[in-house]
Structure 1
Amino acid sequence: MTASERMKMAAGEWYTCIDDELEALRVTARDAVFEHNSLPPRQRGNIAPALRTLLGAMGEGARIEAPFHCAYGFNLFLGEGVFLNAGCTILDTAPVRIGKGTLLGPNVQIYCAEHHREATGRLAGLEIAKAVTIGDNAWIGGSAVILAGVSIGEGAIVGAGAVVTRDVPANTTVIGNPARAVTPR
């Protein structure tokens, strides 16, 4: 039996995102995100019902401010007390695990997909999905970008606007593009 594009995506193999099954899953996610972003705050609560149902997991007290965007939702796992500020975008083609007590500033972007390096591969929609993990009690500053395959350790700080291309050890502060460790003040 030939593996479906969804199975290839989940296995971390090259797959094409131009696929009916994957598009149907993205439509479901867009509907849930639309509900989340459209409901009045008191009606939405911490996370709107359709999005809450779609998520891989959601710990007690996890909150996502609107507007928010995700690609699939089912690959997003939020620990207790996680807070995603307004404008966060998570392209969860692979699992994104955010540890308890972690805070994401406004407009943080997490990208799990890497597109093919050759133009013909990109035209065919080829990409590969790599998981992103953020440990407990981390702080990701506003407009930071976290690229595919990165792990950020417990208690780490990512400065506003940083572009994280490599793993960040626990209790380390990184800033810049590409993000580099700095000595805390």
Structure 2
Amino acid sequence: MLSELDKLQAGDWYHFDDKAIVARKAHAAKLCQEFNAISATEPENQTKKMQEILGSSGDNLSVQATFNCDYGKNIHVGHDFLSNYNLTILDMAPVTIGNNVMIGPNCGIYTVNHPMTRNSRRQYLAQAKPVTIGNDVWFGGSVTVLPGVTIGNNVVVAAGAVVAKNVHNNTLVAGVPAKPIRRLTQD
């Protein structure tokens, strides 16, 4: 019989009130609280704590407080990653972010979803699907990325957009839900 953690990692429905899952989230919350308490005048200490939180990161990592996540170890960012204030990443499933990515303030990247039926929600069920973000991506402020989405390379997501579907390379998307506005050039 699979544990709830096994179900989560397999992409199946799991009970999010399971002790192992709750403990994982509590540990991440503690680390995030420690990160958020570090003064902005201590960027080296912020970077060290962020490297402790994340699963992996490349060179030139810059994350502004506040930062919150569900686990942390499922977040993998490439080189030259910049996040402005108030980033939340619900990383029960993997979140993979490429190189040269800039995320504006008040953004959320979510891998977790809940059932559409009330009886299933009353059972504290959830399902996690990975999110992948390519290279050379810029999110304006207050962007939301939903579970299971892949965002290609050289993409701009306009402020306030809700990305519910995959985004092709070299595209500007905007709106709720986000839709392609135009193609982008390489330079």
Match of 1:149 in 2: 148
Deviation at 1:11, TM superposition (A): 0.9
The answer on 1:163 being equivalent to 2:148 is no
Instruction: Using structure 2 for the length normalisation, give the TM-score.
Output: 0.94
Deviation at 1:44, TM superposition (A): 4.8
Deviation at 1:141, TM superposition (A): 1.0
5 Å matches for 1:107-126?
107-126=106-125
Amino acid of the residue matched to residue 53 of structure 1? E
Match of 1:137 in 2: 136
Q: How far apart, CA to CA, are the structure 2 residues paired with 1:180 and 1:76?
A: 26
Match of 1:26 in 2: 25
Report SS of the residue matched to 2:100: coil
Q: How far apart, CA to CA, are the structure 2 residues paired with 1:158 and 1:119?
A: 32
Instruction: Using structure 1 for the length normalisation, give the TM-score.
Output: 0.95
5 Å matches for 1:12-91?
12-45=11-44, 47-91=46-90
Q: How far apart, CA to CA, are the structure 2 residues paired with 1:12 and 1:46?
A: 35
Q: How far apart, CA to CA, are the structure 1 residues paired with 2:2 and 2:43?
A: 38
Would you say the 8 A contact 2:59–2:80 is kept in 1? yes
- Unpaired runs of 5+ residues, structure 2, are none
Amino acid of the residue matched to residue 165 of structure 2? R
Would you say the 8 A contact 2:47–2:62 is kept in 1? no
Amino acid of the residue matched to residue 43 of structure 1? E
Q: CA RMSD in A?
A: 1.5
- Provide the aligned length of Structure 1 versus Structure 2: 184
Would you say the 8 A contact 1:46–1:65 is kept in 2? no
Deviation at 1:48, TM superposition (A): 4.7
Q: Give the share of equivalent positions with the same residue, in percent.
A: 38
Q: How far apart, CA to CA, are the structure 2 residues paired with 1:112 and 1:90?
A: 8
